[in-house]
Chains A and B, each alone.
Chain A
């Protein structure tokens, strides 16, 4: 049996109310944004937080949740994000060094818009199943940026989730996977550009909805399952509305997605999105529960996973802070000015 040993999300305490604070600045209609996107608030990284720092925190907690697994047992570390702090130089080396997993470890950074995290999960599962490594660490996260005034600014948030894959001490067994990929230019960022571009409404039907539903239906077919066979489902969450709509299209109920539906208070954490939702589900899942997960990354593709929770889950659930508890723990709210400063949207004079 192979699958998840433990996992851990790293949400952040800083938050902003997009409809109120951001719509006010850009003269947008706050109510229509709120209704249209189902986003009440979103997380904001502090100026001293980035993908690497969030990954280290998530990974340390994941190791703790693995009952103090020796980091030297990790044979691979893969971090998926679109906001790696360096254009050239891996994020994974810093994280591996910080958690004490170096030097006998394979390391790579992944990039595929919002699906880079599930990519890392997919590949680590493969390495573990092939017995190439005993344990492997997969991390998905982002401190995503939206251009000032752009629709993305209302949703782009920050967060990360870390997963240790292995064949022993598994808390969620992997039963099936499927990947669905086409070339669809719905969202991109060219080299040296600060903010991404997107195709507006084109990001919906031919992009998100087509890839998520196609991947999900292939997964149903492969596994001979239907929505009713699952206790929980989690999808990529570019806003609150898309995952809700796609789950209805596929035949899932609100009750099945509620626990992993973090976007209304967390925003879109890009590569951290469905992985953090999965982490929130595993905080409360019971042995025997099946979890249906489909990510989405622009460009475009979806990775699908069917997890089955094992007896061991109850032993690890309280070994580290839970995702929703972390989200609700003393959030501090920023005004747009502070947010713009923290996100380096204010142009300062060059230092001489």
Chain B
């Protein structure tokens, strides 16, 4: 990950800030410039709900190089309690017991790092609620 991009995305990665369309109420995460529903351009900043449930998930056993020490791990689509869907890792869980519909909550975790000497990238993962 490029440090400048990580820095730009901190409001989403750190504080789960989304853009809510002032006209139709659509919540865009990450925020957008134009509403995909009504094409309006005015958004207000809202914070995503910090709990939700697993819509679907997969267990990654062959991971990209930054994540290979973490296998096996779960990537899930989570439907937050405000209706917004996000894709993220689910951790602190026994993968054999993980199932669709499980309640989860957001936690702040390390995501990856730019090598041993580089910047550490933080962000959100989910843990059992």
- Measured CB to CB, the residues of A under 8 A from B are 13-14, 46-50, 52-53, 56-57, 60, 85-86, 94, 97-98, 100, 330, 332, 341, 351
Residue of B nearest to A96 (CB): B14
Kindly state whether residue B34 has any CB partner on chain A within 8 Å: no
Instruction: Supply 12 further A-B pairs (C-beta < 8 A) apart from A46-B92, A57-B108.
Output: A14-B92, A47-B69, A47-B70, A47-B110, A53-B122, A56-B108, A57-B107, A97-B10, A97-B14, A97-B15, A98-B15, A341-B69
User: What residues on B are CB-neighbors of A97 within 8 Å?
Assistant: 10, 14-15
State whether A48 touches B125 (Cβ < 8 A).
yes
B19 CB to nearest chain A CB (Å)? 16
Nearest chain B CB to A79 CB, angstrom units? 14
Q: Which residues of B (62-114) have their CB < 8 Å from a CB of A?
A: 65, 69-70, 91-92, 94, 107-111
User: Is B120 an interface residue when CB atoms closer than 8 A count as contact?
Assistant: yes
Q: How long is the Cα–Cα vector from A49 to B91 in the complex, in angstroms? A: 11
CA gap between A52 and B122 in the complex, in Å:
9
Residues from chain B with Cβ under 8 Å of A50 in the complex: 110, 120
Nearest residue (CB) in B for A52 is B122
Minimum-distance CB pairs A-B, first 4: A56-B108, A98-B14, A48-B109, A48-B110
Q: A329: nearest residue on chain B (CB-CB)?
A: B128
Query: Which residue of A13, A53, A100, A351 contacts B110 across the interface (Cβ within 8 Å)?
Result: A53
CB-CB contacts of B111-129 with A at 8 A, as 1s and 0s?
1000100001010010010
> Does A48 contact B91, Cβ atoms closer than 8 Å?
yes
Interface size on B, residues (CB 8 A): 19
| Residues of A close to B111: CB separation below 8 A | 48
- Which residues on B are within 8 Å of A, measured CB to CB? 10, 14-15, 65, 69-70, 91-92, 94, 107-111, 115, 120, 122, 125, 128
Which residues on A sit within 8 Å (CB–CB) of B15? 97-98, 100
Interchain CA distance A60-B108 in the complex, whole Å: 10
CB nearest to A341 among chain B residues? B69
Bound-state CA distance A14–B69 (Å) is 17
Between-chain CB contacts (< 8 Å), 26 pairs:
A13-B92, A14-B92, A47-B69, A47-B110, A48-B109, A48-B111, A49-B109, A50-B110, A52-B120, A52-B122, A53-B107, A53-B122, A57-B107, A60-B108, A85-B120, A94-B14, A94-B122, A97-B10, A97-B14, A98-B15, A98-B108, A100-B15, A330-B128, A332-B92, A332-B94, A351-B115
Residue of A nearest to B94 (CB): A332
CB distance from A70 to the nearest CB of B (A): 13
Given contacts A46-B91, A85-B120, A351-B65, whether A53 and B109 have CB atoms under 8 Å apart is yes
A341 contacts which chain B residues (CB < 8 A)? 69
Measured between C-beta atoms, what is the minimum distance from B14 to chain A in Å? Answer: 4
The distance in angstroms between the C-alpha atoms of A100 and B122, with both chains bound, is: 15
CB-CB under 8 A from A100, the residues of chain B are 15
**Most B C-beta atoms less than 10 A away, residue of A46, A47, A52, A86:** A46
Nearest chain A CB to B119's CB is how many angstroms away?
9
Q: Cα distance A6–B109 when bound, in Å?
A: 23
Q: How far is the CA of A304 from the CA of B95 in the complex (A)?
A: 45
Distance A37 CA – B101 CA, assembled complex (angstroms): 43
A100, closest chain B residue (CB): B15
Residues of B within 8 A of A53 (CB): 107-110, 122
Q: How far is the CA of A86 from the CA of B120 in the complex (A)?
A: 9
Residues of A within 8 A of B14 (CB): 94, 97-98
Separation of A98 and B9 alpha carbons in the complex (Å):
12
B90 → chain A closest CB, angstroms: 12
Cα of A50 to Cα of B65 in the assembled complex, Å:
21
Distance A49 CA – B111 CA, assembled complex (angstroms): 9
A46 to B73: give the CA distance in the assembly, Å: 13
